Amino acid sequence: MTSTLPTRVDVTQFAGKDTLIRLIRQEYQKSFDMMVAASEEEWHAQTPCDMWEVRDMAGHLLDAAYGYLGYFKQGEHGFPTEEPRGMRAYGEALGESAREYRSVYRWEVLGRLDACAELMFSYFDRLTEEEWAGRLVPHKWVGPVPAFMMAAFQLMDYSVHNWDLRKALGKEAFVDSEAADTLVPFMFGLMQICFAPELAEGVDLTIDVHINTSGDEHWTVQVKDGGLTFAPGTPERADATFSFPCNEFCLDVYQRLQGGSATGDQGAIDTFRKLFFTI
């Protein structure tokens, strides 16, 4: 395969730490400001997430930040960790957790969220070069991950949920272009996490994913022997090609919409789209 990766800041490296944390703070502030500015009617508006109104989005972001604080302390103390619960249960479990905050006064929820978010960001700020990729932090859904992944998960959350909030509040819905570009490599990881091997029995596909990012970017995704692998670069032969504007790629992987366009064998296109569960 021919590598055509564009130049982007590699936030998995310590040199990219400031970029990732800047984007997290930027996207968080957008989320927070929209929820603060929402009218009481908008606070109860339905979001694209079936289980959630706008108020539940605030509950989810609070629940996530609070959980991350615990993960960091759990790791610092060397406390035991449970077996990862897996992402199939993630969506429903977090959906219910977010709704539990409906009984809490709106402005208290937002106050708690801002306090927990700032404390969480301070944990990210304090990570040293050695810790950025070398420290493993517990995560009950996916298992221990490098510390930078905890920050990357938050950028995914804020960036995509900002799209959800904009849709719910009747605003122009989009994912920030720099955040979307930064998240591209992580989206392939999410694709792999959400892959349903039981749906891929007997499937042998090579997919070219073309993304209009800061350059003309191609990735090869292969489904074979009940597994999904990915690598940067254009495949020598592809059964189908999926082409995306960068921000639509993020939304497509999160199954918010069926973005971009697809060419090639229609059977391969249809089969590939059905190989993933929703979180």
Look at residue 3 and tell me if it is in a domain: no
Which of residues 174, 196, 211 is at a domain's end?
174
Q: pLDDT digit string (tens) for 102-155?
A: 999 999 999 999 999 999 999 999 999 999 999 999 999 999 999 999 999 999
Maximum pairwise Cα distance, the chain:
57
**Do 126 and 249 fall within a single domain?**
no
Q: pLDDT tens digits for 33-50?
A: 999 999 999 999 999 999
Question: Is residue 207 in some structural domain?
Answer: yes
Residues 132, 246 share a domain: no
Question: For residues 98 and 60, is the Cβ–Cβ distance under 8 A?
Answer: yes
pTM of the model: 0.92
Query: What are the C-alpha distances in Å from 10 to residues 15, 98, 158, 184?
Result: 8, 32, 19, 11
Q: How remote is the C-alpha of 201 from its chain's centroid?
A: 27
Statement to judge: residues 99 and 192 lie in one domain: no
Could you read off the pLDDT tens digit of each residue along the chain, which spans 279 residues? 544 445 789 999 999 999 999 999 999 999 999 999 999 999 999 999 999 999 999 999 999 999 999 999 999 999 999 999 988 888 889 899 999 999 999 999 999 999 999 999 999 999 999 999 999 999 999 999 999 999 999 999 999 999 999 999 999 999 999 999 999 999 999 999 999 999 999 999 999 999 998 777 999 999 999 999 999 999 999 999 999 999 999 999 999 999 999 999 999 999 999 999 988
Residues 33 and 151 in one domain: yes
Q: CATH number, domain at 57?
A: 1.20.120.450
Same domain? 70 vs 201 = no
Domain housing 250: 186-273
Say if 128 falls within a structural domain. yes
The rounded distance, in Å, linking the Cα atoms of 155 and 186 is 10
Residue 181 lies in a domain: no
Based on the structure, what is the number of domains in the chain? 2
Verify that 135 and 26 share a domain, yes or no: yes
Whether residue 232 is contained in a domain is answered as yes
106-126 vs 54-77: helix axis angle to the nearest 10? Answer: 40
Burial 204-219 (b: 16+ CB within 10 A, else e): ebbbbbbbbbbeebbb
- Asked whether residue 63 is domain-assigned, the answer is yes
Is 180 within a domain? no
Task: Decide which of 126, 144, 174 is a domain's last residue.
Answer: 174
